[in-house]
Amino acid sequence: MFKVQLYDTTLRDGAQQEGISFSVEDKLKIAAKLDELGIDFIEGGWPGSNPKDIEFFAKAPGLNLAHSIIVAFGSTRRSGSKAEEDANLQALLESKTKVVTIVGKSWDKQVTQVLETTLEDNLDMITDSISYLKSKGLRVFFDAEHFFDGYKVNPEYSLEVIKRAVKAGAECVVPCDTNGGTLPQQIAEAIRAVQKVTSVPLGIHAHNDSELAVANSLAAVQAGVSQIQGTINGYGERCGNANLCSIIPTLKLKMGFDCVTKEQLSKLSDISRYVSEIANLPPYSWLPYVGINAFAHKAGLHVSGLAKWEDSYQHIPPDLVGNRPHVTVSELSGKSNVIYKAKERGLPIPKGSEIKKVLEQIKLLENQGFQYDSAEASFDLLLRRAQADYRPPFELVDFMVVVERRRRPPSSGDQEEPLSEAIVKVKVDDKIVHTAAEGDGPVNALDQALRKALIQFYPDLAAVTLTDYKVRILEETAGTASQVRVLIESGDGQEHWRTVGSSTNIIEASWLALADSIEYWLLKHATKAKR
């Protein structure tokens, strides 16, 4: 079986995704991680296009990569210019990489309509550029842009582009599905046609506009290409590029290509999340293989099977790609879900009647708008409260929240400013505390008042902070009488947890989530009230 090379273009093509803007340091960090993953070629950027990429190539040698080769990307010379005088080609030389990738048009209509030149001139631009770079001692890959679209309407010209690139010295030719509209069988057919006119190694560069970039890349491999270009998490312009986080494990685990080691593959999930963090994008939970929900199980039948045989509802063992099973609980859950989650989270295993009570409670509460998939701290409390001997660290007696307009003297120049004040009464053991606090809004005021009441009994509670607050309206047609769900994320500097509340009253929903957050932390740290 032939070797498949992995070519990553996250730092160039992936960076073209809306919302992504990598700094030079970001790109250097990602390149180091890609080296750990065993990527063969890392396309660092287009040095002729911006100062940031020029700086990256200047600093890249300091990475001391163990496996990966840094590649500079650029286009063919401009029409009417000489290769040795072309600024883009000179920038490629100045990047001092050993490998460069040149992109050129292979669709006749792109040549005449976009480049606004002749088909023969385009061929000369390609051959001159590749020949010039080869004469300078560089290894040259050629990206045949829009190849598959061009092949559909004028296969003779598209194939001639390939032949000219090979004759000029390209060591690998990469047909590109630039618009992302080609089907897998069309990819395979075109690749076989290319193989009839050249014997050099071929690659594939697929975009995901038809949700087929991964399938097209794998179809190309089956047809004989030996290089796959793609990005981490499928980042890229429009709908993205072929996702290497799906391609790599499929190649290794399902198609038998030893493209990375087992150790490298086990880092895949961590690297996926690392790159999303650097990109300042939330990890997409439903990504195959590496998403947090890739091995999530919700239906009771599935969890029951999973408990008996771990492969019953998983296509691979999750740890092969550095992921893990994730069982959720909902109105669809059975006893197996509850037992599995209790074991997973180190909680006492509920007995028969307790399990029944928990399941009934889950179904009742989810019908009222609660959801425990993303609020595992609230689920922990649900399990604890089902135990006959459970005693909460505090109890709510009542609360009240006031929001009013506070007018400042006109001379101050300030606008009317709403005042939020919460009054809370809680019971700790046999003591009742009645306190009040102001805040930046009603939820913040509630949070401040509750802490003020409890901190005299639990001083360590000062470490807990509210880090995120989300509200979702569940019944939009009900207007202001809609059921709302509040999801709160809290932290203490060491860990984060999420709790949920639901009500037709947003303040009550917030209170339920806030109270769960604090109760969870107090129980987790086994904090006893100070009298």
Residue 515: pLDDT over 60: yes
Average pLDDT, whole number, for the chain?
88
CA distances from 193 to 97, 105, 196, 210, 228 (A): 32, 18, 5, 23, 18
Domains 5-260 and 395-524 fall in the same CATH topology: no
Q: 2 or 113, which is more confident?
A: 113
Domain boundaries, the chain: 5-260, 296-385, 395-524
Lowest mean pLDDT among 150-164, 384-398, 486-500: 384-398
Nearest Cα to 293, choosing from 304, 303, 285? 285
Burial class (CB in 10 A: 0-12, 13-18, 19+), 70: buried
As assigned by CATH, the class of the 5-260 domain is: alpha beta
Give mean pLDDT, residues 127-153. Answer: 98
Q: What is the pLDDT of residues 397-449, one digit of tens each?
A: 989 998 887 655 555 555 566 788 999 999 998 899 999 999 888 888 999 99
Structure tokens belonging to residue 308: 């008996």
Helix (H) or strand (E) holding 139: strand 139-145
Percent of the chain at pLDDT exceeding 90: 63
Strand ranges across the sheet with 431-439: 395-406, 417-428, 431-439
CA distance 89 to 120: 20
Query: What pTM did the predictor assign?
Result: 0.72
Whether the CB-CB separation of 296 and 326 falls below 8 Å is answered with: yes
Residue 265 has a pLDDT of 97
Beta-carbon contacts of residue 81 (< 8 Å; ≥ 6 apart): none
Q: What gap in Å lies between CA 88 and CA 92, rounded to an integer?
A: 7
Just give the CATH number of 395-524: 3.30.160.270
In whole angstroms, give the CA distance from residue 317 to residue 411: 69
* Model confidence at 191: pLDDT above 60: yes
Maximal CA-CA distance, the chain: 91
Burial 77-114 (b: 16+ CB within 10 A, else e): bbeeeebeebebbebbbebebebbbbbbbbbbebbeee
Helix (H/G/I), strand (E/B), else coil: 135: helix
Q: Supply the pLDDT for residue 160.
A: 98
The distance from CA 263 to its chain's CA centroid, rounded to whole angstroms, is 21
- Distance, in Å, from the CA atom of 505 to the CA atom of 442, rounded to the nearest integer, reads 12
Q: How many CB atoms lie within 10 A of CB 405?
A: 8
Among 333-347, 401-415, 482-496, which range has the highest average pLDDT? 482-496
| pLDDT computed for residue 376 by the predictor | 81
Give the sign of the dihedral formed by CA 273, CA 274, CA 277, CA 278: negative
d(CA 351, CA 70): 58
Q: At what angle do helices 442-454 and 506-524 cross, to 10 degrees?
A: 30
Strand 41-45 and strand 69-75: pairing?
Answer: parallel
Among 266, 274, 334, 328, smallest CA distance to 300 is for 334
**CA distance linking residue 323 with residue 292, whole number of Å:** 7
Burial of 456 (0-12, 13-18, 19+ CB in 10 A): middle
Q: Look at the block and give the residue holding tokens 């199980």.
A: 297
